[in-house]
Amino acid sequence: METIPPFAALAALVSAMAHAGMALFTKQAKDTLTFRAVSMVFSALWLSPVLVFFPIPSWEVWRFLLLGAGLIWAFNMLMIAAFQRGSMNLVYPVMRGAAPAIAGLFAFFILGEPLSPLAILGLSVASAAIIAFAWPEKGGAPKAVALGFALSAAVMTASYTVNDASGVRAAGSALIYAAWFFLLSALSLGLTAWVRRGDQVLGVARAELRRGFFASFFNITTYGLALYAYANAPVAPMAALRETSVVFGAIVAAVILKEPLGRRRIILAGVLALGLAAIQLG
């Protein structure tokens, strides 16, 4: 049984907290697309010295960066669509919850990382518990379109998780990989916002500057720590630990957005913890 480094596990958990914060900022934004573009531009600016003073990655790394840029662009578009159609407590659990099982399967088939029966059981329990967060309360009606976008975003999450794990291992530096990642993401989302908003993009961007400034630190924290975790531990358990962001997301949605949490979801959080423990033991 492979031992998981404690600092990698801690990095994944802190990454989960930061991701929930990023999601909260995104949900609160008036123009989610422009907000995401602004936050990515700030993130790229903070890491821009790395682009100057560190070596340019080799083509072996660039192929992961370019593919990752496309995957994260698709994830952002799907996340925005899901948030526009459903509450954070509805779509965020599905968006993050389905990803660990998918990432585990991708890591097994693509990276050749073995999964023990106990780890598979843990992944199944954890993913089922997180998805159950989104099950409508008694008398509530499911939102098929919102959930469809959330599930699609989960597929993108699993895809860029495995891709970036491969990329950061090839790069040998989470800092260098993250710096180029944020530059590419800022360019792709900035161009998308400009195409969709046209001449109004600068005015809309000004309105999102303050929120995007603070969100950029959450962007760097969640992504940078995730890269560190993926570079130093197996992808499947790190992805599952990172997706505990759904619990933190439920808490901030209940406290700040005043979205209901309820006893059922509190119990599901305990079931999730058991599933993650099984992944660690497996």
Q: What's the whole-number average pLDDT of the chain?
A: 83
Confidence (pTM): 0.81
Give the CA distances from residue 115 to residues 108, 109, 130, 239, in Å, rounded to whole numbers and listed in that order.
7, 10, 20, 13
Q: Is 259 helix (H, G, I), strand (E, B) or coil?
A: coil
Instruction: Tally DSSP H helices, then E strands, for the chain.
Output: 13, 0
Asked whether residue 22 is domain-assigned, the answer is yes
Q: Does residue 2 have a pLDDT over 60?
A: no
Terminus-to-terminus CA distance in the chain, angstroms?
7
**pLDDT at position 205, please?**
92
Asked whether residue 29 is domain-assigned, the answer is yes
CB-CB contact of 14 with 242 (8 Å): no
- Per the structure, the complete domain to which residue 162 belongs is given by 6-281
- Per the structure, the count of domains in the chain is 1
pLDDT tens across 232-271, in order?
888 777 877 777 777 777 777 777 877 766 677 677 777 7
Asked whether residue 1 is domain-assigned, the answer is no
Amino acid occupying residue 32:
T
pLDDT tens across 50-66, in order?
999 999 999 999 999 99
